[in-house]
Amino acid sequence: MTSNRQPRAEATRAHIVATAALAFAERGYEGVSLNDLVAASALSKGAFYFHFASKEDLALAAFRAKQEELVSRLLANELPESASEQVEALLRRRARLIREDPSFGCVTRLGSELNVRSAPGSAYVGFQELALSLIADIVRHGQARREFRADLDAEAAARVIFAAIVGIDVLSLLSSGGKDLEERSDELIELLLAGLQSRAETSNVPTQGKERDHGARRTTRVPR
């Protein structure tokens, strides 16, 4: 009987986190009370509080769970060998996944609020290392292939790129409720590649970043 408790407890916790992630994605941190989250879970308060005693703890757990799931799904399909194409593929996949699965709005909407609420050294700040590490690895890969500028510091570039991604998330939420994130991601891709690519790479691809005429999207195919 004891052996069955742990899987059941893990399933209950996962249910609470999934329910909360969707609520936070739809209404944000301030728009949801702890009582709202208890009611949405359809659990007794005792069962709920056994796993999460505060809204802040649950918000952190929901953000982390959806962040890890998003990264896992981003990397589930094989990436192109080219670092430039990896940047394009990942940013476009990310925007598409966030559009297709409303719960991933937990990463953008809740994340923007936790950015303001969290203090240096907090658990939330540590969560950013997952994204920063992934981006830095892509920059180093591009440098090894001589696609990206050799003078770039990979960690510093990752911080700037990550800040830009967070920025378009916030602007997209403000301007369209997140509906234009794919368009804003395309705009960011052009700027990033212009700054990352080496001169040799840029000269070899004279139309890079200039393939949109009259607002048309670039037609680079993204692996599905």
Instruction: Indicate the DSSP class of residue 110.
Output: I
198 or 143: whose pLDDT is higher? 143
Task: Tell me the per-residue pLDDT of 21-59, one tens digit each, with 9 for 90 and over.
Answer: 999 999 999 999 999 999 999 999 999 999 999 999 999
Q: Tell which residue, 203, 119, 182, 131, has the closest CA to residue 160.
A: 131
Query: What's the pLDDT at 71?
Result: 96
Task: Tell me the per-residue pLDDT of 176-204, one tens digit each, with 9 for 90 and over.
Answer: 999 999 999 999 999 999 999 987 665 55
Query: What's the pLDDT at 216?
Result: 39
* Mean pLDDT across the chain: 88
Q: Tell which residue, 56, 89, 115, 60, has the closest CA to residue 185.
A: 89
Instruction: Map tokens 């069955």 to a residue.
Output: 4
Residue 205 has pLDDT above 80, yes or no: no
State the burial class of residue 58 (Cβ atoms within 10 Å of its Cβ: 0-12, 13-18, 19+): buried
Query: What's the pLDDT at 221?
Result: 37
CA 138 to each of CA 49, 68, 88, 97, 101: distance values in angstroms, whole numbers, following the listed order: 41, 18, 11, 20, 25
**Domains, the chain:** 63-204 (1.10.357.10)
How distant is the alpha carbon of residue 196 from its chain centre?
21
Beta bridge partners of 120: none
Task: Tell me the per-residue pLDDT of 157-171, one tens digit each, with 9 for 90 and over.
Answer: 999 999 999 999 999
Residue 218 has pLDDT above 90, yes or no: no
Task: Tell me the per-residue pLDDT of 92-131, one tens digit each, with 9 for 90 and over.
Answer: 999 999 999 999 999 999 998 998 888 898 889 999 999 9
**SS3 category, 197:** strand
Q: How far apart are CA 17 and CA 110, in angstroms?
A: 13
Residue 211 has pLDDT above 70, yes or no: no
How distant is the alpha carbon of residue 32 from its chain centre?
21
